Amino acid sequence: MRKELRLPLTAQGRLDRALADALGLGRAAVKAAFAAGEVRVRGRRARASDPASPGALVELEVEEPAGPPAPEPELPLAVLAEGPRWLVVDKPPGVPTHPLAAEEGGTLANAVVARYPECAAASPDPREGGAVQRLDLETSGCVLFARDPEAWEALREQFHARSIEKVYRALVVGRVPSGGVCSVPLAQRGGRVVAVPDPLAPSAQRAGQGRPREAETHYEVERAFAAHTLLAVRIVTGVMHQIRAHLAFLGHPVLGDGLYGGVAAEMPLTSRHYLHAARVGFARPEDGVRQVVESPLPRDFEAMLERLPPP
């Protein structure tokens, strides 16, 4: 869909955000247009991080926006906690957080909007159905949803400010002797991210590839097995696949994670990678009070722990 518009005279900040607001589109659609080089300001190709120029003529090619998730009341939904402006639900492994394309169903957001219809209008990108965060398909555990647009913005601001507490449990390959911190930058390469120990090296700055982003992962040993370790992992930043990429970089990929661990992460009878969002802590948008929500390990995760021989 080809669009042409002039930015309002009140436009300010980054160009991508100003465009999303002016068009009434989700930021994901605008981001895709920039990635494809389909945004021009006054006839010149623009970048997402360029400052918005009030009154400037902008031309761009964007996909038709997908609507909100269709309510699917038949889908199961486990609500861990809720307030008047938010809720935290327990995502099973193998269930997408929200649709990525029009008419996609069977996601967590489809189940949420069936019980909490106000969530469908809470997020700037209607597809998200109010989801404030997203977990990988095979990752289970806590997912935070907003119930109104102001709550979504307030919760997202906490993510940007790094004040959200995010704790995971990861079952990894090998014996991890002690806890530690991994702060190696990560760069996106297609559908995965790679560790970039030297982000200033020319190879880290190749054209058309994502620039290295700051990433910080803390981990502690919870339980040791003969050839595996259960870790408690806390992430300060939120780079795509951060925990999986960092642990693989350390030589301890998440069990079942073939994308980052290859054959070293494989094990008979594994149906997914064993990563679980165990706890989320945030300031409630209605009153600022600190809220902590926890998710117990799912049955398949517990069953895997029972299979592993002791040290």
Highest mean pLDDT among 30-34, 185-189, 235-239, 290-294: 290-294
Catalytic positions, written as ranges? 136
User: 37: which residues sit within 8 A by CB, 6+ positions away?
Assistant: 45
CATH classification of 168-276+302-307, choosing from 3.90.1310.10, 3.30.465.10, 3.30.2350.10, 1.10.10.10? 3.30.2350.10
State pTM to two decimals: 0.80
Task: Kindly report, residue by residue over 204-241, the tens digit of the pLDDT.
Answer: 555 445 678 999 999 999 999 999 999 999 999 999 99
Is domain 67-161 classified as CATH 3.40.50.620? no
What pLDDT is recorded for position 90? 98
Characterize the bridge pairing of strands 275-283 and 140-146.
parallel
Sign of CA dihedral 107, 109, 114, 120: negative
Same CATH fold assignment for domains 67-161 and 168-276+302-307: yes
How many CB atoms within 10 Å of residue 154?
Answer: 20
Range of weakest confidence among 49-53, 95-99, 169-173, 197-201: 197-201
